[in-house]
Structures are given as C-alpha cells and as structure tokens.
Chain A
Amino acid sequence: MKQLPVIFKRELASYFSSPLAYVFIEIFLVLSGVFTFYLGGFYERNQADLAPFFGVHPWLYLILIPALAMRLWAEERKSGSIELLMTLPVSCFDAVVGKFLAAWVVAGISLVLTLPMVITVNYLGDPDNGAILTAYLGSWLLAGAYLAIGSCMSALAKSQVIALILALVVCFLFVACGFPPVLDALNPWAPQWLLDLLASLSFLTRFDAISNGMIDLRDPLYFVSVIVAWLAATVVAVNLKKAE
C-alpha cells in the first residue's frame, strides 16, 4: 500500500506533462457547454437545474473517457516500461489502483472546472444545490466506472487504439442496456425479468437516478462495485499479459 501514492503521483504528473490532460479537460468543458446550452435547451427550459448538463454526461464520457484510459497500461507494455515497473517492489494492486486514481482525478478536475455552470443557475434562479452536489458525485462515479473498464481494456490490448475501441464498445454496452429504444426493441419477446436485469445493470438508469437527486445508497454502491470488479479484472489482465 505504501507505493500506491508514489505511483499515483507519477501517473498524474505524466498526464499533465503531456498535452493529454489539458486536451481532455478542454474538450470536456467545450462539449458539455455546447450540449447543455444548444442541444439541451438550458435557457428555453426555464428551470433552475442542471438536468441538461448532467443528462449528456453518460454520452460525453462514452467518447472521452476511453481516450483518457487507453494509455494506462497499453503504453507501459508498448514501451517496455512495464518490465521496469513490475520488477520494482510494487504490488500489482498498488500499480493498478494508483494509475486508476490518477486518471480519475483528471476526470474529477474537469468536473470541478464546470463550476461556472453551478454559479450560472444560482444567479438565474434558486436551484437545489444539494441535488446538484449529488449529481456531481454521481457523475464522478460514472466516470470512474468508465475508467475502470478502460483500464482493463488497456491492460488487455497492446495498442492504444485497440484499447480505445474495446473500451468504447464495452462502455457502450453498459450504457445501451438501459437506453429506452433498446429496451423497447427487446420488449416484445424478452421476459420482464431480463429487461429489469438489463435496466438495473445500465449506467444510464443508475446515473439518472442519482442525477435526479434521488438518494438511494444502492446506486452509488452499484458504481463502486463496478469499479472494484473491473479493477480486479485489470489486476488479472496485467499479470496475464505483462510479459507478452
């Protein structure tokens, strides 16, 4: 456990020593602004909340988070530095979690930088700031779940591009299984329990519940367990694939 902060710090510094973190934050801020104000009809709704802002997050993350996660392990394997890392006295758990946390903090920073959005709604009306805070936490958890998937895909693929595509596909499955058009298409022939199961596995359903300000401990717990499960899978994948 002692090495975890060291790995975390190095990884975070390397995000910011390359343009990657800046590009990610920039694109996230621009796109979330565009989606909220133009496509989400922020002003037209005449409601003092951030629903259009948070509503777009599952789709925005779908494109952006795999790009943030793709380098986590694929790059180490490509450059061979994984051999250096794994022959230092570092447990695989420390390395996997340290790297994941660094990427998660980058995602967190970009969320914090959307604070002007909160100031705007507070200036224009009288929103429920508790609900907004909950939604922020939910959004960060959602980003964490995407990242954990991305980290596992990055450990499986040696090429960053393949890691990106794999992560995108798997994340999409987790989002789409709760998307109303998908559920509607399955409705005529699938049994109800299957639909319920799919919907309950979906990031979309869970995230909507949190971002609507409903406090049910099961939803955050769902995201936490998704993160834990995918990070455990990452540990297995790293051990399996490190020497290839």
Chain B
Amino acid sequence: MIEISKLTKIFSGHIAVDDLSLHIGPGEILGVLGPNGAGKSTTMKMLTGFLAPTSGTASILGFDIRKQRLLAQRQMGYLPEGTPCYDDMRVQSFLEFIASIRGYRGAERRERVARAIDLLELGGVCGQPIETLSKGFTRRVGLAQAILHDPKVLILDEPTDGLDPNQKHQVRELIQGLGQDKTVIISTHILEEVSAICKRALIISNGRVLADGPPAELQSRSRYHQAVTVQADEPLDLLALAVLPGVAGVEENKEEQSLTLLARPGAVIFPQVSALVAARGWRLNRLDLEQGRLDEVFQRLTRGETA
C-alpha cells in the first residue's frame, strides 16, 4: 500500500526526517505521534509530493512519489495542517474546483460534490465563503476535499487540532468510518486519539521512529501496565500492600489520597490486591486496574531514555 524506504529530509543542516523506512498495509489506520518538530508534518509533506526528499523515496500503491508524482497524488487525499483552503471561495464552488482538478466533469462532478457535502454535513453552509466559517466547519471542508475522489490513501495532518470536544468526536468517528476500506495516516499529539481510533501507532522524535506497534502494545511498555490504584477514606496498610508478590513499588498520590501499586514486568497483581482488600475488610472507594499510560511511554521515549 504505502512503502517508505530510507526517506530523509535535511533542511539547511538540520535533519528533519532521518532514514525512515516503513510499510503500511491496506486498511491500516496509522497514528503518528511525536512532539512538535519531530518530523511528522515533514514526512507527510514528502508523502504527498509537496516536499522533495533529500534522499530515499516512498511509493503509494506502487507509484513512486519522486518519479510518478502526479499518479501518486491521484491515489491520495490530503488534509494539510491548519486546513489551508481558498478562503474567498464558497464551499460549493471550492469543492467543485477540487472535483474538476481531480478530473470529474458534468453529472459525475455534481454527484461527487453532493456526496462529500452530504457525508460531512456541509449542506447548511454550501453557499458561504470559507473565510466566514468556524474552525470546525473549515476542517470539515478540508476533509470533504480530501475524500471527494474516494481515495485509497488518506493522509491527515492533525485533523482534530483546535476543535472542541464534540467536533473532535465527530471527526474521529468519521475517520473510523473511512478507515474501513482505506489506508489512513493521521498525525496528532493527542494520545487518547491514537488509542481511540488507530490500529497502529508510531512514535517519532527527531525524525526517527522510537516505537511502532498497536496502541495496546505501546501502553504495555508503560510502568503503569497492570498497575492497580486503590483509594479509601481510611488509612491503608502500606507495608502489607508493598510486600504482595509481584508488586514492584507503591506510589502515593497525595491529592486524591490514593495509592498506585506498580507491577513487576510480566506480573499480574490485581487478584492478590483484591484478595488482601477482602481479607482486611477495607472499604475502598476505588479499585482500578490500569492498562498503562501512553503519555508516560511517550514522555519517556521522546526524552531519549530507553524503554
């Protein structure tokens, strides 16, 4: 589907993307995570043919982005960061322009535009100039132009950035819906988004891949994987909890007066903890099992420590 090989981009001495190689299969929703300046946008700009790589290349459905740029671009829909559009155009005529560029004429063009407007619920703002629209609507116009030609590959650069929670939810649902039969790459720095919609997550920093795997697998690298958090109004017997088999350590969270028991790698401690709670007759307000914290993994990886 998408084959990236040794992709490198150097901006006047600064390496933005460093020897990136990656295979992305059909139907995958890949979430690219990374701090600002990690090379997410630069990678996407190279994949979409906007930036020429310094070395290396990538192919989209077999079309090389350097040698067959126009053919590769036909296969892709792209939402650039910040959704730049022709702001003075009306939504309808903007989408018609995109459809014409994509080679649709006459009835087919009308049909494509109507379907995109329908899918993104833009019917109410069709006749408005894009510059008068709210951020959420503008983003939807950007998505509409990206999916107009029903591309096999969709590349979305921070699709939910700057939207309110409801709009974020809508856009995520839409991406999930689209991901049924497309390969989708989204970049984001919202970690929960990756767990919510991506089947595969990529953490990059300084242009290098630090981690690559399903979000659940990345979560399990967290030291909070299989950790148990207990919270009670009465004081708990710290020592008894700490010596339970498999417990690696205890963290006290002063603010909410709770304890987080960390598990040794590979160990499961939930049954022991709940047995102890039952035996001592503690009345707990909370007893949670954690899958791991993606943000903690992210911080640890991107600060340069080994996982």
What residues make up the interface of A, taking CB atoms closer than 8 Å to B?
2-3, 6-7, 10, 13-14, 17-18, 79-84, 86-91, 242-243
Is B100 at the interface (CB under 8 A from chain A)? Answer: yes
**B49 touching A6 by the CB < 8 A rule?**
no
* Chain A residue, CB-CB nearest to B44: A87
* Chain A residue, CB-CB nearest to B47: A87
Please judge, given known A-B contacts A86-B50, A89-B102, whether A81 and B45 are in contact too, CB under 8 Å.
Answer: no
**A84 touching B80 by the CB < 8 A rule?**
yes
From the candidates B49, B73, B84, B145, name the one contacting A80 in the complex (CB within 8 A): B84
Across the interface, which residues of A come within 8 angstroms of B74, CB to CB?
A: 89
Is B101 at the interface (CB under 8 A from chain A)? Answer: yes
Across the interface, which residues of A come within 8 angstroms of B71, CB to CB?
A: 89
Q: Separation in Å of the B183 CB from the closest CB of chain A? A: 16
CB<8 Å pairs between A and B, sample of 8: A10-B89, A17-B89, A81-B85, A84-B145, A87-B50, A88-B102, A89-B70, A90-B101
Top 7 closest A-B pairs, CB basis? A80-B84, A89-B73, A87-B48, A6-B100, A83-B80, A81-B84, A89-B70
Q: Which residues of chain B in 88-122 are interfacial with respect to chain A, using CB atoms and an 8 Å cutoff?
A: 88-89, 93, 97-98, 100-103
Q: Separation in Å of the B272 CB from the closest CB of chain A? A: 55
Q: Separation in Å of the A179 CB from the closest CB of chain B? A: 39
Is B270 at the interface (CB under 8 A from chain A)? Answer: no
Across the interface, which residues of A come within 8 angstroms of B101, CB to CB?
A: 3, 6-7, 88-90
**How many residues of B sit at the interface, in one of the four size bands?**
20 to 34
Please judge, given known A-B contacts A91-B70, A243-B51, whether A17 and B88 are in contact too, CB under 8 Å.
Answer: yes
What residues make up the interface of B, taking CB atoms closer than 8 Å to A?
45, 48-51, 70-71, 73-74, 76, 78, 80, 82, 84-89, 93, 97-98, 100-103, 145
Please judge, given known A-B contacts A88-B98, A89-B70, A90-B101, whether A83 and B86 are in contact too, CB under 8 Å.
Answer: no
Which residue, A10, A17, A18, has most C-beta atoms of chain B within 10 A? A10
CA distance A79 to B85 in the complex (A): 8
CA distance A88 to B95 in the complex (A): 13
**A80 touching B80 by the CB < 8 A rule?**
yes
Across the interface, which residues of A come within 8 angstroms of B89, CB to CB?
A: 10, 14, 17
Please judge, given known A-B contacts A87-B49, A87-B50, whether A79 and B84 are in contact too, CB under 8 Å.
Answer: yes
CA distance A80 to B138 in the complex (A): 14
**A83 touching B50 by the CB < 8 A rule?**
yes
Q: Separation in Å of the A88 CB from the closest CB of chain B? A: 5
**B49 touching A86 by the CB < 8 A rule?**
yes
Q: Separation in Å of the A72 CB from the closest CB of chain B? A: 13
From the candidates B51, B84, B100, B103, name the one contacting A84 in the complex (CB within 8 A): B84
Across the interface, which residues of B come within 8 angstroms of A86, CB to CB?
A: 49-50
Across the interface, which residues of B come within 8 angstroms of A89, CB to CB?
A: 70-71, 73-74, 101-102
Q: Separation in Å of the B14 CB from the closest CB of chain A? A: 14
CA distance A12 to B273 in the complex (A): 72
From the candidates B48, B84, B88, B97, name the one contacting A18 in the complex (CB within 8 A): B88
Across the interface, which residues of A come within 8 angstroms of B73, CB to CB?
A: 87-89
CA distance A139 to B76 in the complex (A): 44
From the candidates A3, A10, A79, A88, name the one contacting B87 in the complex (CB within 8 A): A79
